[in-house]
Amino acid sequence: MTTALTLLNDIFGYPAFRGAQAEIIERVAAGDDALVLMPTGGGKSLCYQIPALLRPGTALVISPLIALMQDQVAALLEAGVRAACIHSGQSATEADRAERAFTEGRLDLLYVSPERLLSPYFTSLLVKAAPHGLALFAIDEAHCVSQWGHDFRPEYLKLTFLHERYPEVPRIALTATADETTRKEIIANLHLEGARVFIASFDRPNIRYRIVEKANARAQLLAFLRAEHEGECGIVYCLSRRKVEETAAWLCAEGLRALPYHAGMDSPVRERNQTTFLREDGVVMVATIAFGMGIDKPDVRFVAHLDLPKSIEGYYQETGRAGRDGLPADAWMAYGLADVVQQRRMIAESPADERHKRVASAKLDALLGLCETSACRRQRLLAYFDEDSGPCGNCDTCLEPPQTWDGTEAVRKALSCVYRSGQRFGAGHVISVLMGRNDERVRQWQHDKLSTFGIGADIPEKEWRGIFRQMVALGLLAVDHAHGALTLTATSRPVLKGGQAVPLRRAPEKRKAATPKSRRIDAELTAEEHALFERLRAWRAATAKEHGVPAYVILHDATLLGLVRARPQSTEAMRHIPGIGARKLENYGEALLGLLCSPYHGG
């Protein structure tokens, strides 16, 4: 592996491989197939980029997003690697130049979308390029081949033709998210039965997970952003296009730089917003899940959810877009009973067959278990992917352990009230009856005459909302999807009969918490170091603008922080900063030295 390690040092500027990277690279470079499951930010790209440089010919990288292709190619060119991409957004001249370089064997890597790859024209280009050698086929975002996943793309099912036509060319399929069902489907659908499967740890220790009970979700989001991520880059996920537009406009009105992104927007506006997010600092992207797959931006400092995702895979994949540079990042979500009702309704009303609905319901149940757990969230998250771990100390339940209480009596009262009111009403009305509210709707239905009227007056409304949310999550109550009414389930019978206890999670008390230690990436810098960090960021922004690439393609924040802390006084000393390879040292070494050696004029 000496050659591979030399490439890692000289081209990419990193001192050593992480985890299974070396083993994966050795296997693919030797001509064997591999399926790689590695978390976002774990270094998947190097697993095919280095074998591409070790093997003769051009590596073909199949990637589903134009923005990702462009960023990967820009980063490789900055590092001195011969790379190009072919996509629908190019001019005819640009596409022709890339095609000619490919067919003449002048590229190390060529990025292409699955749709473009499958076209008859591109198939003819493959024939022309074959005599110069095809180094490998890398299938990125391989979970798109799974019909269970929310990123399913039919084109991925046709990628088996690569192996059928070029059986001697090794393939590497890569994804950040795949449970056992999805893994089996990737292997079957891409005919990777002979591939060695590499499963890296799914843990992202730099991400802090936090799930809060919805009160006023927008206000809660704003408080979170103002307290911990003022001026930083992040993503806010919403379920509907309308909510995306409204939330982005509201955040702008509150003084944040927010942009909307969803599939219903005009394509040029959507692409412009994505480019702004990728290339500028401090932008908050408010989006549906149409945004994010393949986003390579390493300095996303938070991912927030204003609505419940559909599954743990979706949640893991979306939150995984934060902190790809390994620096501290937050995954924050506001969650309430209405989210559970909405997701259950979406499953019930979907055109999918009963088998798919059962799978979707089981995936939602697993996510609800993560939301309602009083144990370590990371432990629960990793257990879903069959990975054992201890309490992490870096999630809300570890930092502020919630209390549990015996909710059996309260649950029995609630179930009894749902039953006696006819199983025709939502949680709001049932809570009014339990609390003994003598309002017009209660009187209209004569529910003030029920034996359950007022039997829950000793419990505050907010607590009742939490109880009902947990009852739905635990399957003790179902939701009538046509009218939103709560109904009893088979699971609720033993509780009503007094044969089963129901421990519940208690809502945390509102208290003035101690000011948390800042997790901003520049929090521990001195005034002088902070001033230098800002000078480096300004230089990087100007250089990136001049080159027409995102700032992180020039240097990552982690590399800038490394320069600030080490203060190398020569280009030779700069070689030891992770992220600075030979080409970047040659291009930027002197400029960086000038900034690092300039005197500090502080206040």
Could you give the percent of the chain with pLDDT greater than 90?
65
| Cα–Cα distance, 371 to 556 (Å, whole number) | 33
Scored b (16 or more CB within 10 A) or e, 432-470 reads bbbbebeeeebeeeebbebebbebbeebeeebbbbbbbb
Query: Looking at residue 353, what is its pLDDT?
Result: 86
Query: Looking at residue 602, what is its pLDDT?
Result: 56
Alpha-carbon dihedral sign for residues 250, 252, 255, 258:
positive
If you average pLDDT over every residue of the chain, what do you get?
Answer: 90
Q: Does residue 1 have a pLDDT over 70? A: no
Same CATH topology for 2-199 and 207-399? yes
Best-predicted range by mean pLDDT (54-58, 274-278, 340-344, 370-374): 54-58
CB 110 within 8 A of CB 60: yes
CB 39 within 8 A of CB 321: no
Query: Looking at residue 517, what is its pLDDT?
Result: 63
Query: Looking at residue 411, what is its pLDDT?
Result: 95
Domain at 527-597, CATH homologous superfamily: HRDC domain (1.10.150.80)
Band (143; pLDDT cuts 50, 70, 90): confident
Q: Tell which CATH classification among 1.10.1740.10, 3.40.190.10, 1.10.10.10, 3.40.980.10 matches the domain 404-505.
A: 1.10.10.10
For 82-134, the pLDDT digits (tens) are 999 998 888 899 999 999 999 999 999 999 999 899 999 999 999 999 899 99
For 499-548, the pLDDT digits (tens) are 889 999 886 665 544 445 667 888 889 999 999 999 999 999 999 999 98
| Cα–Cα distance, 307 to 215 (Å, whole number) | 13
196: which strand partners? 34
Please list, in sequence order, all residues whose beta carbon lies within 8 angstroms of the beta carbon of residue 172, skipping any fewer than 6 positions away.
24, 28, 33, 34, 35, 36, 47, 48, 51, 136, 137, 138, 139
Residue 462's identity, in one-letter code, is K
| Cα–Cα distance, 202 to 386 (Å, whole number) | 10
Angle, vertex CA 134, rays to CA 129 and CA 138, nearest 5: 125
Please list, in sequence order, all residues whose beta carbon lies within 8 angstroms of the beta carbon of residue 13, skipping any fewer than 6 positions away.
559, 575, 577, 578, 579, 580, 581, 582, 584, 585
Q: What is the CATH number of domain 2-199?
A: 3.40.50.300
For 291-339, the pLDDT digits (tens) are 876 677 899 999 999 999 999 988 998 999 999 988 999 999 999 888 8
pTM value surpassing 0.85:
no
Band (579; pLDDT cuts 50, 70, 90): very high
Band (67; pLDDT cuts 50, 70, 90): confident
| Cα–Cα distance, 1 to 20 (Å, whole number) | 13
Q: What is the CA radius of gyration of the chain?
A: 27
Query: Looking at residue 154, what is its pLDDT?
Result: 85
Query: Looking at residue 514, what is its pLDDT?
Result: 44
Query: Looking at residue 150, what is its pLDDT?
Result: 58
197: which strand partners? 35
Domains of the chain by residue range: 2-199, 207-399, 404-505, 527-597
More confident residue, 362 or 580: 580
What phi-psi label fits residue 258: left (phi over 0), alpha (psi between -120 and 50 degrees) or beta? beta
More confident residue, 337 or 481: 337
Nearest to 236 by CA among 336, 328, 319: 319
CB 57 within 8 A of CB 47: no
Nearest to 414 by CA among 486, 342, 345, 338: 486
CATH topology of domain 207-399: Rossmann fold (3.40.50)
CB 113 within 8 A of CB 87: yes
| Cα–Cα distance, 63 to 66 (Å, whole number) | 8
Q: Does residue 2 have a pLDDT over 60? A: no
Query: Looking at residue 294, what is its pLDDT?
Result: 61
